[in-house]
């Protein structure tokens, strides 16, 4: 049974995850699993992963609806990317299981730092807000989607942090549209993982509900913050890069035994 203190910690943790998803379209799994294990006190890593997948999928879908009401989701581009990404995730997860876990995390941390550098370099580029799916960007969307999905499945964590820059590179859309559209893929990836873990009985449904409740409140704040920062040229890119630098350094330190 969960205590009242765990309920409160679950609400606060869920709010942090929801805020991250609403703000930058990523950070769900990266934040949710360690919060469940180290803050809420879930004893099983597998239950933490399964429960977080349910919470992340639902919160991502809620944040997606909030962004959609603002008209910032590029649905056609997002759906092609998500479909290719799901195929890639299946392939990547197969190969990821063959590599040592700590080495896997270290490689992922280095990848995140590289992504942060790319985001900082492109902070002054506004992007084309009127971008649409066409035959010129279809191959890039499918290719980047497949690649992002493979990396997400290979590393088993952090899909949103890969999806946002990949969408920007594939189509040239601004970061606010990429954040909004990325939630289509985050929802799809999370739901697929959640279904697998639920089938194996590795989901704490009460905690998932508490996380989702906190995530809805945090997500609304994140969506509003994203729209505010997007209006300040390059600022949302900088915030996105800063978050993944912090997470990347933390993961690299943990995987190499420095902390």
Residue of higher predicted confidence among 126 and 94? 94
Look-up: residue for tokens 């906190």?
214
Residue ranges of the alpha helices (H) in the chain? Answer: 4-24, 28-34, 45-69, 75-96, 101-121, 138-155, 159-171, 175-199, 205-230, 235-255
Look-up: residue for tokens 């919470």?
55
Mean pLDDT of 14-29: 82
Q: What percentage of the chain exceeds 90 in pLDDT?
A: 20
Those residues with Cβ within 8 angstroms of residue 163's Cβ, 6 or more apart along the chain or in another chain: 25, 26, 81, 85, 148, 152, 178, 182, 185, 186
Those residues with Cβ within 8 angstroms of residue 158's Cβ, 6 or more apart along the chain or in another chain: 26, 27, 29, 30, 108, 112, 152, 247
* 16-20, 179-183, 237-241: least confidently modelled range: 237-241
pLDDT reading at 1 higher than 90: no
pLDDT reading at 105 higher than 60: yes
> pLDDT tens across 146-158, in order?
988 887 777 656 5
Q: How far apart are CA 34 and CA 49, in angstroms?
A: 9
What is the model's pLDDT at position 81? 94
**CA torsion, ordered 241, 242, 248, 250, to nearest 10 deg:** -170
Taking the mean position of all CA atoms in its chain, how far away is CA 1? 29
Nearest to 127 by CA among 169, 181, 82, 79: 169
> pLDDT tens across 157-187, in order?
657 778 888 898 899 888 889 888 989 988 8
- Cβ contact 155:115 at 8 Å: no
Residue of higher predicted confidence among 71 and 116? 71
Integer-rounded Cα radius of gyration of the chain:
17
pLDDT reading at 139 higher than 70: yes
Mean pLDDT of 60-64: 89
pLDDT reading at 96 higher than 70: no
Q: How far apart are CA 199 and CA 181, in angstroms?
A: 28
Residue 194: how many other CB atoms lie within 10 Å: 23
Taking the mean position of all CA atoms in its chain, how far away is CA 60? 8
Provide the token pair at 145. 């989607």
Q: How far apart are CA 111 and CA 156, in angstroms?
A: 13
Mean pLDDT of 184-212: 87
pLDDT reading at 198 higher than 70: yes
Structural domain for 40, as ranges: 4-255
Q: How far apart are CA 137 and CA 153, in angstroms?
A: 24
Residue of higher predicted confidence among 129 and 219? 219
Q: What is the total count of domains within the chain?
A: 1
- Cβ contact 22:221 at 8 Å: yes
């Amino acid at each position: 049974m969960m205590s009242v203190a765990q309920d409160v910690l679950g609400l606060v943790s869920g709010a942090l995850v929801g805020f991250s998803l609403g703000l930058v379209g990523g950070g769900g799994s990266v934040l949710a699993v360690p919060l469940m294990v180290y803050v809420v006190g879930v004893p099983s890593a597998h239950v933490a992963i399964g429960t977080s997948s349910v919470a992340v999928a639902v919160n991502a879908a809620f944040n997606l609806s909030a962004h959609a009401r603002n008209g910032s989701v590029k649905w056609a581009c997002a759906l092609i990317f998500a479909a290719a990404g799901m195929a890639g995730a299946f392939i990547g997860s197969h190969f990821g299981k063959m590599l040592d876990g700590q080495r896997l995390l270290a490689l992922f941390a280095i990848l995140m730092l590289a992504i942060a550098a790319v985001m900082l370099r492109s902070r002054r580029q506004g992007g084309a807000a009127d971008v649409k799916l066409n035959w010129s960007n279809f191959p890039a969307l499918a290719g980047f989607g497949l690649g992002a999905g493979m990396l997400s499945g290979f590393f088993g964590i952090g899909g949103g942090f890969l999806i946002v820059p990949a969408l920007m590179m594939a189509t040239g859309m601004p970061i606010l549209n990429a954040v909004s559209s990325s939630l289509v893929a985050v929802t799809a990836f999370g739901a697929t993982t959640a279904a697998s873990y639920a089938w194996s009985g590795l989901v704490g449904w009460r905690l998932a509900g508490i996380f989702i409740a906190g995530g809805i409140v945090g997500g609304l704040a994140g969506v509003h913050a994203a729209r505010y920062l997007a209006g300040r040229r390059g600022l949302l890119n900088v915030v996105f890069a800063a978050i993944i630098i912090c997470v990347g350094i933390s993961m690299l330190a943990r995987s190499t035994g420095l902390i």
